[in-house]
């Protein structure tokens, strides 16, 4: 088993069990004690887990998804940097999808004066898009309270009538093997459909989300370009799978 495969499996196991002993991880991965301890040390250095006596536990044990307001202030400087770069990729004449992520929201001021069309599933984005006079279509569906996103079957179906030059998506986690993940299956379905409708997809993901695995898979890692603030030396396995922009 490759190192990246084993470390991804360790995080998947912890995501299911919350905490496991070194012996349990050895048995589950068919690895030696020294190998598991090296993996745990590396994953702790990446801030993906916490070492506890005799084993490890996930750093974030919260079972509930954070609200939009809570997410919006986390890694704000990193999100603004990622958003500014992402917006620079948008050209006059483009039709783009902006999902309800907080990093996509930070793109909006940079889209002012561009002759583009935006489609979004975000209630929160609408006021700022209007403020900057960006021509906008909003898809309907079930309004998810804590993220202010329109989700569900109606939202997914509505996306099928559009074609996008580019889509820009927030994710709760990304990993070279597990792909892009988020907490809500219905939100994942909307993001996945947006990728299918787009010529090119971009995942806006600050480094804190690397090797985080959430409940619902959005897409495989190669289905989008990753725009992140992570250091290249810690993302070398990701470069083998897809295009990565490190800012």
Q: What is the pLDDT of residue 166?
A: 98
Residue 62 has pLDDT above 70, yes or no: no
CB 225 within 8 A of CB 166: no
Evaluate if residue 85 carries a pLDDT over 90.
yes
* 63: confidence class by pLDDT, cuts 50, 70, 90: very low
pTM of the model: 0.79
Question: Nearest CA to 99 among 148, 53, 145, 146?
Answer: 148
**Given its phi and psi angles, is residue 64 left (phi above 0), alpha (psi -120 to 50 degrees) or beta?**
beta
**pLDDT class of 59 with cuts at 50, 70, 90:** low
Q: What is the mean pLDDT of the chain?
A: 92
d(CA 219, CA 4): 18
Residues 5-15 have a mean pLDDT of 89
Residue 65 banded pLDDT, cuts 50, 70, 90 = low
Round to whole Å and give the CA distance between 112 and 132: 5
Q: Say how many C-beta atoms besides its own lie within 10 A of residue 153's C-beta.
A: 12
The answer on pLDDT for 200 being more than 50 is: yes
């Amino acid at each position: 088993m490759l190192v990246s495969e084993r470390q991804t499996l360790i995080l998947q196991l912890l995501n299911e069990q919350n905490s496991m002993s070194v012996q349990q991880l050895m048995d589950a991965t068919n690895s030696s004690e020294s190998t598991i301890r090296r993996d745990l040390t590396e994953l702790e250095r990446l801030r993906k887990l916490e070492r506890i006596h005799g084993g490890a536990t996930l750093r974030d044990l919260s079972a509930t998804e954070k609200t939009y307001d809570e997410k919006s202030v986390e890694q704000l400087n990193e999100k603004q940097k990622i958003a500014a770069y992402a917006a620079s990729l948008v050209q006059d004449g483009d039709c783009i999808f902006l999902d309800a992520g907080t990093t996509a929201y930070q793109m909006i001021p940079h889209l002012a004066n561009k002759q583009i069309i935006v489609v979004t599933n975000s209630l929160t984005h609408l006021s700022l898009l209007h403020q900057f006079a960006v021509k906008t279509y909003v898809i309907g569906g079930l309004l998810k309270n804590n993220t202010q996103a329109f989700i569900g079957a109606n939202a997914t179906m509505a996306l099928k009538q559009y074609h996008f030059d580019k889509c820009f998506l927030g994710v709760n986690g990304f990993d070279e093997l597990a792909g892009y993940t988020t907490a809500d299956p219905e939100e994942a379905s909307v993001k996945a459909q947006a990728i299918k409708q787009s010529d090119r997809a971009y995942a806006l993901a600050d480094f804190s989300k690397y090797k985080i695995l959430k409940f619902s898979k959005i897409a495989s890692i190669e289905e989008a370009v990753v725009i992140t603030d992570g250091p290249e030396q810690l993302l070398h396995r990701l470069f083998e799978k897809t295009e990565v922009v490190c800012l």
